[in-house]
Structure 1
């Protein structure tokens, strides 16, 4: 359990604020008898005539005043703040404050605890709701905090699974004696696996998010492990096609669960941190890549690592409840009927953004090597220096999308990133580095907002299926963009020519966002999708989720 202690000398007004419940990064309440019992009677019950703000006065005005507070709302599994204030001879007040807490974020709590501790030391303006720039704009509670921690763990595993083949294909091809053409064919075939995810996520609308999410991740781990025993490149491609389909289903369902469980003002933020965690998982694949050099078959070790994901799946299974919106009764609905305009507008945006984004990223190394003469080491340095800051932009984009709105973040991020990206392919020297850095950061800004739109704009009974259909739009856009850019480069010798051909598609995304997209920031899903609000008369049968919250030992506050 984390502990934050401080003694400060402040003016009487500030001291008075410290003796009241805080309502900034979390919401406190007066200490109660039930709190005392939860803490093993470590603190006596607050008498019935105690101050309503939780403080107790000494026998005379000059005595020290004390207060103890529990948690009303915040992502803590346990929380307690003790305050003691004594007036000094000079009129100032010496305040000793001790806060103890345990975050409901699972293993990720260790990462966030130092940041939380710093925010808890703030002594002024505790009565105004505000969160640090790194925190979600809307305060999480115990349930949403616990679920977010579990989703981050699953996103880490999915990030590794989605990257391992891209990083190892060249080593596998060397062992099997295959060339670049065979590698390209295998990678193209694996893309087909993403289309198979549509059936899986559609089933989640009937069978439950939790069940399909965990089964898909376990199956993805097993299919990847099978790849370690592949006798040919073709067999490796088959196992990875299956793994990629399951992994894509996991990624889509993670976004669906996040949308259904997070507060209305923190959905895009949750998607941004899950995207960062997925990138961390992809980074694990890069860190493990030197294992491929231990021998001709060293690449197979990277396909065995996902076996470690199976115990994680088992652990999450004991903790993760079914989505509360899936369990809650809701009306039956179809994706196209009543939602066709949303499907086509978001699908068109994903198609266009992927058509530009896929070649911009996947053909970048080829551009740097062939057209700018970069060595492998310089390409690696370029990737690190221009891509790493995108993590900051991801979090900023999620926060901006939740506080300022989705539409403008999408328009600025996609259009601005595309213009800088296309321009960068005409540059050399430091302008090339700066253009790519700016394009990467602007593009990252739009990721959480676009990612939030997919699950937000469709009702519970069709939310997962809609996410799968929109993934098809994205995959098709990626494939067409890669073909167009590749053909243009072969004909002219310049990748920039292909990127400028695709640039109008990216600019069209900005037009769609500003003119067609609805604004969903800080709106409840039932407000965005009236079908899910049973208090509003509507057509269609009412259904309920088939899966109740899981048995076992869920984290406190989950049920």
Structure 2
């Protein structure tokens, strides 16, 4: 079956292109599935391990910080090669998530999920680098969009399986144990995944702080602030979307889920459209438009009241958010030299994590004073600023990445 023209790859992919996209997408699916579990099973884990809501919030905050430690794994990827570290992080992520199924107490749960966050973040960053360095430049963003879709599909699969947790007080453990199924795919991927064609073992080890201190006119800090600001808005908007639909608007839970699924399904086209457009027109114009769409749609979710209008707002927000993935993902990889690319990409991911934590903290404080809708609308200013910062970043479409 032939894809519609607006979601077709901009050029015909080679066999090598198809191989790297398929292999990294397998890893991405299980990454998305593993990283979604902690939030999805939150109420069930709380009851099972007797954790208060306040303590669970602090616990998830600690778990999120695992992404900061993932910088060390990306540093190894710059020093010893992408493939070895990527596969090692993938196995560690699956084992830690599966082991969570038998976590006897809060401390064990927290430690294991912090490892999952650390290794899962490294899988995402290193897979992104592998794609950028292996794909034909003319379809780099398009390939990244398929990987992003696989991650999203994995997270969606985890969400669909949540009803299993209702079968009994300890049924949530089966959802974590299911991660072990990913180990069956390891031999298939490991036998076919090749080292990045651009990686060369450095004569001098890359320093952890190199991307932060680099002075060769590479706008690390601009992209870092952009990532921070976009996450400051998107994290609380996504976290409180269901509460808005059920608590504020008064929709029944099945209707609210239907609104989000309908909007998310239509918005999912943003992955392929965003990737194709980014490869044809450039990273900057697509990223600029995607950030604005995500902001406008997100505000609509917290201002509108009719189900159809809410579904349309969810579609607009999802389309923008998903289109951001390939354009920003390609931009992040293309801005930095090969010798520090993995470390730089992970530092930028950390900026996003810190932005999400800041947004949730600010949201928790402001919602009590001004209400949910007003708070999210105010935070949308972060998306406007982030879109403006895109104009200060150089265009990188089609850039030839050099070995290093």
Tell me which interval the TM-score lies in, with the shorter structure as reference length. Answer: over 0.9
* 2:154 equivalent to 1:281: yes
Question: Which deviations, in whole Å up to 9, do the C-alpha atoms of 1:286-307 show, x marking residues without a partner?
Answer: 2322322332211111111111
Q: CA deviation at 1:140?
A: 2.0
The answer to whether the Cα contact below 8 Å between 1:486 and 1:498 also exists between their aligned partners in 2 is no
Is 1:189 the counterpart of 2:27? The answer is: no
- Contact 2:79-2:205 at 8 Å conserved across structures: no
Q: Is the 8 A contact 1:393 1:441 kept in 2?
A: yes
Q: Deviations over 1:494-548 (max 9, x none)?
A: 212222322222111221112x11111122123xxxxx5xxxxxxxxxx6xxxxx
Q: Secondary structure at the match of 1:427?
A: coil
What does residue 412 of structure 1 align with? Answer: 289
1:203-255 CA-partner distances (Å, limit 9, x unpaired):
10001100000000000011111111111233212211111110000001110
Which stretch shifts more, 516-525 or 321-330? 321-330
Is the 8 Å Cα contact of residues 160 and 281 (structure 1) preserved in structure 2?
yes
Indicate if the aligned counterparts of 1:486 and 1:495 stay in contact, CA closer than 8 A. Answer: no
**Are residue 154 (structure 1) and residue 30 (structure 2) matched?**
no
Measured after TM superposition, the shift of residue 340 of structure 1 is 6.1
Inter-partner Cα distance in structure 2 for 1:142 and 1:267: 14
Q: Answer yes or no: is 1:465 the counterpart of 2:338.
A: no
In the alignment, the residues of structure 1 paired with residue 11 and residue 309 of structure 2 have an alpha-carbon distance, to the nearest angstrom, of 39
Given that residues 157 and 278 in structure 1 are in contact (C-alpha distance below 8 angstroms), is that contact kept between their aligned partners in structure 2? yes
Q: Is the 8 A contact 2:28 2:151 kept in 1?
A: yes
Correspondence for 1:396 among 229, 251, 273: 273
Task: Quote the residue 2:304 is aligned against.
Answer: 427
1:437 to 1:390, Cα distance in 2 relative to 1, 3 A? closer
Query: Is contact 2:82–2:195 with CA below 8 Å preserved after alignment?
Result: yes
Structure 1 residues 484 and 277: alpha-carbon distance in aligned structure 2, compared to 1, 3 A threshold: same
Q: Is the 8 A contact 2:30 2:154 kept in 1?
A: yes
Q: Distance in 2 between matches of 1:192 and 1:340?
A: 29
1:362 to 239, 262, 282: 239
2: CA distance, partners of 1:503 / 1:280: 26
The match for 1:268 is 141
CA distance in 1, matches of 2:190, 2:321: 34
1:386 correspondence with 2:259: no
Alignment of 1:485-504 (within 5 A): 485-492=363-370, 494-504=371-381
Rounded Cα–Cα distance in structure 1 between residues aligned with 2:231 and 2:171: 33
Task: Say if 1:348 and 1:375 are closer, same or farther in 2 by CA, change over 3 A.
Answer: same
Q: Would you say the 8 A contact 2:44–2:172 is kept in 1?
A: yes
Q: Matched residues in 2 for 1:169 and 1:420: separation?
A: 27
**TM-score, scaled to structure 2:** 0.93
Aligned-pair CA distance for 1:329: 8.1
TM-score where L is the length of structure 1: 0.68
Q: Gaps (5+ residues) in structure 2?
A: none
Partner of 1:246: 119
Change (3 A) 1:349 1:146: same
For 1:326 and 1:407, locate their aligned partners in 2 and report how far apart those are by CA, in whole Å: 27
**Whole-Å Cα distance in 2 between the matches of residues 434 and 304 of structure 1?**
36
* Structure 2 Cα separation of the partners of residues 279 and 358 of structure 1: 15
Of the structure 1 ranges 306-315 and 173-182, higher mean CA displacement relative to structure 2 is found in 173-182
Alignment: residue pair count: 399
- The one of 321, 333, 355 equivalent to 1:455 is 333
- For the pair shown, which has the larger CA radius of gyration, 1 or 2? 1
Query: Secondary structure at 1:521's aligned position in 2?
Result: coil
2:194 corresponds to: 321
Which residue number in structure 1 is paired with residue 102 of structure 2? 229
Q: Structure 2 vs 1, CA of residues 395 and 180 (structure 1 numbering), >3 Å: closer, same or farther?
A: same
| Aligned CA distance change for structure 1 residues 340 and 191 (closer, same or farther; 3 Å) | farther
Residue matched to 2:396: 520
Question: How far apart, CA to CA, are the structure 1 residues paired with 2:183 and 2:94?
Answer: 7
* Cα distance change on mapping 1:234 and 1:330 into 2, 3 Å: closer
Higher relative contact order (CA 8 A, sep 6+): 2
| Distance of 2:29 and 2:143 partners within structure 1 | 14
Q: Which has the higher helix share?
A: 2
Counterpart Cα distance in 2 of 1:210 and 1:364: 37
Question: Does the CA-based 8 Å contact 2:271-2:322 persist in structure 1?
Answer: yes
8 Å contact 1:421–1:435 — kept in the other structure?
yes
Residue of structure 2 aligned with 1:376, choices 253, 266, 280: 253
Counterpart residue number, 2:382: 505
8 Å contact from structure 1 (residues 330, 461) kept in 2: no
Larger strand proportion, structure 1 or 2? 1
- Structure 2 distance, partners of 1:376, 1:393, is 26
Query: By how many angstroms is 1:434 displaced?
Result: 2.3
CA shift in 2, pair 1:331/1:455, >3 Å: farther
2: CA distance between counterparts of 1:310 and 1:330? Answer: 34
- Does the CA contact (< 8 Å) of 1:394 and 1:445 recur in 2? yes
Shift of 1:328: 8.3
